[in-house]
Amino acid sequence: MDIDLMLRVYPYFLEAAWVTIQLSVLTIILGLICGMLGAAGRLSRFALLRFLAAAYVSFFRGTPALIQIFLLYFGGPQVGIQLDAFEAGVIGLGVNIGAYMTETMRGAIISIDKGQIEAARTLGLSRFETFRKVTLPQALRLMIRPLGVNINAQIKGTALVAAISVVELTYTAQRYIGSTYKPFEMFLIAGILYLIIITASGKVISYLDRRVRLQ
Amino acid sequence: MGLDFTVIPSYADALLLGVLWTIAITVSSAVLSFFGGIMFAVIALYAPLVIRLPFRFFAWLFMGTPLLLQLFLIYFGLVELGIDLPAFVAGVIGLGLHFAVYNSELIQTAIVAVDKGQMEAARTLGLSRPQALIKVVIPQAVRDVIPPIGNNMIALLKDSALVSVIGVTELTLSAQLAIGRTYRPFEFYAAAAVLYYIINLGMEAVLRRIERRTQLSR
């Protein structure tokens, strides 16, 4: 193993790791927003909204994320959407993970006992109040762990934007594998950085999970 | 430049060939990941400590890193070792091993959850430990995790698009080649998305059948 080489190139990987962190944070925020809208749509009273949300989930979970990103980045200009690679990556990945988060959130909300909702309604709370004060607080507790699984997958998923030449960790590793012919060393540097990011995010999630459980 | 979907029919053959390669790579990797997952689970649970600990370390490394990065490692790593494999084989190894690690996690939990009495009964009947494991414990454990393994296989189908970057001419790369000649990215990526969606529906139907049949034997 060529430790000297690893020590020489790792600063470039640190810069790339920062891009991976930015991609992760932005796509997770966008994913959570899409997930909330999607879950609201899936559980809506209106058939049209239910249909649109179901179609959103079905398309984005039924086709590869790589194809979705290519469609947005390379196909976008044909339909008047001009984005640079980073923007296309964030939007493509965020909307994609949002479809998975939609199902996670919906699953947590529908698993709340119907009796709770009936009881709240009987006590005179409006539908909205019932959702905000009874259903949501309980559902939030149930959804943090499965959302953590989505988030973990998403951090690794950010590697896909290497295919549209965003200079993040995987792209950097690929470039250095090509120029140094040391695939294992480059994999190890990038791998350790991914593991640090994923372990840190896992710690944040289990901290949040413990906090909501204590209440 | 507007949209013009009439260019697609003249590339229909190439795209359908891509579909066949996507199915071939998905099925081969799925089989590898299934049996690899069982083998990895046995190693992670029963191998001697000197094998078990490094093995668990590598499993952890593979679960915490992106598939795309692993594909680059395997593809270029094999070249570095002087092993010249066709891209298809490298892709199957990469996808298969990646999902074998995920399947192994599921199978390990299931093996531990199989009633201890089963192993004891099998041993009492005169089976050796490996025999009892292979004939009694593992079949029950695997049956319990068929549905989540099925979910992994759906993910595998979609991740098979990634092997296009190491030069396997499956559906994604077929679409890219057509785009290279026509400069119509939107049309061909949309066509590829529709084809993936159809393969996905077919695969879900097959998995549901397998699930129903394996759960009947309970």
pLDDT at B213 over 90: no
Q: Comparing A206 with B84, which gets the higher pLDDT?
A: A206
Q: Which amino acid is at A71?
A: L
Look at residue A181 in the predicted model and tell me its pLDDT: 85
For chain A, which residues make up each domain, given as ranges? 3-214
Say what the alpha-carbon torsion angle B62, B71, B68, A8 is, to the nearest 10 degrees.
80
pLDDT band at A26 (very low <50, low <70, confident <90, very high): very high
Alpha-helix runs per DSSP H in chain A:
3-42, 47-62, 65-75, 85-110, 114-122, 127-130, 136-157, 169-180, 183-214
Whether residue B2 is contained in a domain is answered as no
Whether B45 contacts B112, CB under 8 Å: yes
Look at residue A215 in the predicted model and tell me its pLDDT: 60
Q: Comparing A92 with A215, which gets the higher pLDDT?
A: A92
To 10 degrees, what angle do helices A65-75 and B171-182 make?
Answer: 10
Q: Give tens-digit pLDDT for B40-88.
A: 999 999 989 999 999 988 898 889 999 999 998 888 888 888 888 888 9
Q: What is the pTM of this model?
A: 0.90
Q: What angle do CA B141, B145, B146 make, to 5 degrees?
A: 115
Measured in degrees and rounded to the nearest 5, phi and psi for residue A193 equal -65, -40
Q: Give tens-digit pLDDT for A90-128.
A: 999 999 999 999 999 999 998 888 888 889 889 988 888
Q: For residue B186, give its domain range.
A: 7-216
Of B68, B80, B190, the CB nearest to A159: B68
Q: For testing the chain B interface, which of A67, A164, A188, A192 should be mutated: the one with the most B CBs within 10 Å?
A: A67
pLDDT at A66 over 70: yes
ipTM field: 0.89
Whether residue B1 is contained in a domain is answered as no
Whether residue B171 is contained in a domain is answered as yes
Percent of chain A with pLDDT strictly greater than 70: 99
Which of A15-19, B79-83, B91-95 is least confident?
Answer: B79-83
pLDDT band at B217 (very low <50, low <70, confident <90, very high): low
Calculate mean pLDDT across residues A171-189.
89
Specify burial of residue B213 (Cβ count, 10 A radius: 0-12, 13-18, 19+). Answer: exposed
Whether B14 contacts B174, CB under 8 Å: yes
Look at residue A214 in the predicted model and tell me its pLDDT: 63
Q: Determine whether the interchain pair B77/A183 forms a contact, defined as Cβ–Cβ distance below 8 Å.
A: yes
If you compute the radius of gyration of chain B from its CA atoms, what whole number of angstroms results?
21
**Six-digit token string for B11:** 């590339």
The architecture that CATH gives domain A3-214 is Orthogonal Bundle (1.10)
Q: In chain A, which residues have their Cβ closer than 8 Å to the Cβ of B193?
A: 59, 63, 67-68, 71
Count the domains in chain B. Answer: 1
Residue B99: which CATH number? 1.10.3720.10
CA distance B191 to B179: 11
pLDDT band at B218 (very low <50, low <70, confident <90, very high): low
Query: 57-76 in A: which are within 8 Å (CB) of B?
Result: 59, 62-68, 70-71, 74-76
The 3-state DSSP class for residue B22 equals: helix
